[in-house]
Amino acid sequence: MPAKPRFDAETWVCLVPPRVDRPVINSVLYPVYMHRGYFITFEGLDGSGKTTQLRRLAAWLESEGHKVVTLRNPGSTALGDRIRSIILDSRSEDTLGGNIAPHTEMALMFADRAQSIHEIILPALADGAIVLCDRYTDSSEAYQGAGRELGSDRILAMHRAVCDNLQPDLTLLLLPSFDSSLHRARRRNQRTTLQKGTDENRFEREDDGFYRRIHQAYETIAAREPQRVAAIRDDAGIDQIEARIREIVSARLPATVI
Q: Cβ neighbours of residue 195 under 8 Å, at least 6 residues apart?
A: none
* Residue whose beta carbon is closest to ligand TYD: 143
171 near ligand TYD (CB under 6 A): no
Pick from 33, 38, 39, 203: which binds ligand TYD (CB under 6 A)? 203
CB of 252 to ligand TYD, least distance (A): 23
Distances (CA, A) of 99 to 166, 201, 230: 31, 14, 35
Q: With H, G, I as helix, E, B as strand and everything else as coil, classify residue 242.
A: helix
Closest separation between CB of residue 140 and ligand TYD, Å? 3
Distances (CA, A) of 89 to 8, 78, 92, 127: 37, 17, 5, 34
30 CB neighbour count, 10 Å cutoff: 19
User: What sign has the CA pseudo-torsion 87, 92, 93, 97?
Assistant: negative
Residue numbers 110-169 binding ligand TYD by CB under 6 A: 135, 139-140, 143-144
The least CB distance from residue 137 to ligand TYD, in Å, is 7
Of residues 138, 102, 105, 136, the one with CA closest to residue 220: 138
Could you say whether residue 33 binds ligand TYD (CB under 6 A)? Answer: no
Complex with ligand TYD: residue 128 or 176, whichever CB lies closer:
176
User: Using CA atoms, how far apart are residues 231 and 223, in angstroms rounded to an integer?
Assistant: 9
For residue 201, the minimal CB distance to ligand TYD (Å) is 5
User: Coil, strand, or helix at residue 162?
Assistant: helix
Min CB(147)–ligand TYD separation in Å: 7
Query: Minimum distance from CB of 81 to ligand TYD (Å)?
Result: 12
Contact between 109 and ligand TYD by CB under 6 A: the answer reads: yes
Stretch that binds ligand TYD, among 68-76, 166-174, 227-235, 247-255 (CB under 6 A): 68-76
- 37, 39, 46, 77: which one contacts ligand TYD (CB under 6 A)? 46
Q: Report the SS3 class of residue 257.
A: coil
- Toward ligand TYD, which CB reaches closer, 26 or 181? 181
CB 61 within 8 A of CB 130: yes
Chain residues in the site for ligand TYD (CB under 6 A): 46, 51, 72-74, 88, 109, 135, 139-140, 143-144, 201, 203
